[in-house]
Amino acid sequence: MELTLYPSQIHGKVPIVTSKSQTIRALLIAAFSKGTSSIRRPLYSSDTRSAINLIQTLGAKVSKEEEVLSVTGFDTLPEEVVFDCGNSGTTMYLAAGMVASLPVKATFTGDSQLKSRPVLPLLEALKGHKVRVSCTKGGYPPFTIAGPIRSGEVDITCHTSQHLSALLLGCVMGKGQSVINVSLLNERPYVEMTLNWLKEQNIKLSYDEDMKKFIIPGNQHYSPFDSTIAGDFSSASFFFCAGAISDSPVTVSGLDRNDPQGDKEVLTILEKMGAIVKWNGDEVTVTSPQEGLHGGHFDLNAIPDALPVLAVTACYAKGTTVLGNVPQARIKETDRIESMKRNLMTLGAHIEDTEDSLIIHGQGHLDGGECRGYGDHRIIMAMAIASLRTSGPLTIDDIDAVDVTFPTFFTLFDSIRKEI
């Protein structure tokens, strides 16, 4: 499905959806707990539905009442199971690490995009923990694992943080102590999110400040919990940037300033570009500066999901912006560096790319036209934000893909914009 958007004024308050990453971690930990957990204000999207389907296939019981999901952990296990993770890389990676702790033969698969997501580093690390592994597509899904995880010491290069989070979540339930040596870690805040869940679960482990080495005693277990999911800074970043490029302020509500989500850094980047950011309780308001935004050099290694919308924002700034040190953006739902370069050049942007960065020479405007969504929710939402100030209408294809993390995006977007 395609959508044509027209240049618009934007003003108002957006109640933001809750976090996909937090919801999926909650679902998986609840499924591996002995008892019933309550997950309050979870995100309902195609990715979280994939996680719910997976834990139900494993034997967990899930029920919904108003804004609460009740999850009862599985009692018995199937000998063999196939998990269809849809488009959800978070579900696939994290569940693979946890299911590897079980004496179950499990095959993981998904849609065509998911089958392009690299899994070899995680599988090699699991093999180092005596997990049987089979993968016929050269390190890409589908793959099959059969646990349980046993004591071992492994080295891993984490181009995506999800590989390390998967090992941490699984090894705590392994048979014996695990040692994980990390030579490269991208997206550190997502590992901090996982560690926060383990801390809340009273899980014992140790690691150095640089997260280069983790020592994890095995034979631990997860316990039932009652938790409320925080608002999602990744989703909020689109509205932060809308406020930064518009003539009127935009307020986003439902955010926890102390939550360990990395995409809070988008607010700092916008301030460095000249935007005005003000917090008031769980609300944050972003306003464009009178003199307009200016470019800068920003390291996005910790927040790769912000690259598409920050690239759009940089086009409306003066001067050159470098969005760098983010090679993992090329292995998301699509190659986001290449896809954003193509889209923005189609709209008249002066933009270059390197192996790990986008370089945008801001001209303060973008043309109207047609662009592709590439089946990637974050590219689609970023291009919608671009439409606010294009010189003419902007048509975006494949917009249904926003359901992955933000099913209500266009409803909320329409609620605070008015066509010029």
3-class SS at 285? Answer: strand
Select from 3.30.1490.20, 3.30.110.40, 3.65.10.10, 3.40.50.720 the CATH code of 20-213.
3.65.10.10
Q: What was the pLDDT predicted at 403?
A: 93
Give the Cα separation of 323 and 296 in Å (integer): 8
Task: Output the CA angle 219-225-228, nearest 5 degrees.
Answer: 135
Q: What was the pLDDT predicted at 144?
A: 98
Give the Cα separation of 288 and 307 in Å (integer): 19
Instruction: Return the number of other C-beta atoms located less than 10 Å from residue 257's C-beta.
Output: 12
Q: What was the pLDDT predicted at 137?
A: 84
In b/e form, how buried is each residue of 25-48, taking b as 16+ CB within 10 angstroms? Answer: bbbbbbbbbeebbbbebbbbbbbb
Q: What are phi and psi of 66, to 5 degrees?
A: 55, -120
Q: What was the pLDDT predicted at 66?
A: 86
DSSP-derived secondary structure for 262-276: GGGHHHHHHHHTT-E
Average pLDDT over residues 133-157: 95
Extract the tokens encoding 10: 């934007």
Mean pLDDT is lowest, of 14-18, 39-43, 63-67, for: 63-67
Q: What was the pLDDT predicted at 138?
A: 86
Q: What is the pLDDT of the chain when averaged over all its residues?
A: 96
Q: What was the pLDDT predicted at 149?
A: 97
Average pLDDT over residues 127-146: 95
Instruction: State the helix-helix crossing angle for 377-386 and 307-315, rounded to 10 degrees.
Output: 20
* Confidence bin at 419 (pLDDT 50/70/90): confident
Q: What was the pLDDT predicted at 405?
A: 92
Comma-separated ranges of CATH 3.65.10.10 domains in the chain: 3-17+230-419, 20-213
Average pLDDT over residues 384-399: 97
Average pLDDT over residues 400-412: 95
Task: Output the CA angle 291-293-294, nearest 5 degrees.
Answer: 110
Residue 286: closest CA among 337, 331, 336, 245: 245
Instruction: Show which residues are catalytic.
Output: 305
**Cα four-point dihedral sign 132, 196, 88, 225:** positive
Instruction: Tell me the pLDDT tens digit for each residue of 277-315.
Output: 999 999 999 999 999 999 999 999 999 999 999 999 999
* Confidence bin at 120 (pLDDT 50/70/90): very high
Average pLDDT over residues 325-335: 94
User: Does residue 327 contact residue 304 with C-beta atoms inside 8 Å?
Assistant: no
Average pLDDT over residues 360-378: 96
Residue 184, strand partner residues: 157
Q: What was the pLDDT predicted at 88?
A: 96
CA 71 to chain centre: 23
Instruction: Tell me the pLDDT tens digit for each residue of 228-273.
Output: 999 999 999 999 999 999 989 999 999 999 888 999 999 999 999 9
DSSP, res 392: S
DSSP, res 34: S
Q: What is the CATH code of the structural domain delimited by 3-17+230-419?
A: 3.65.10.10
Q: What was the pLDDT predicted at 136?
A: 84
pTM: 0.94
Report which residue type is found at 38: S
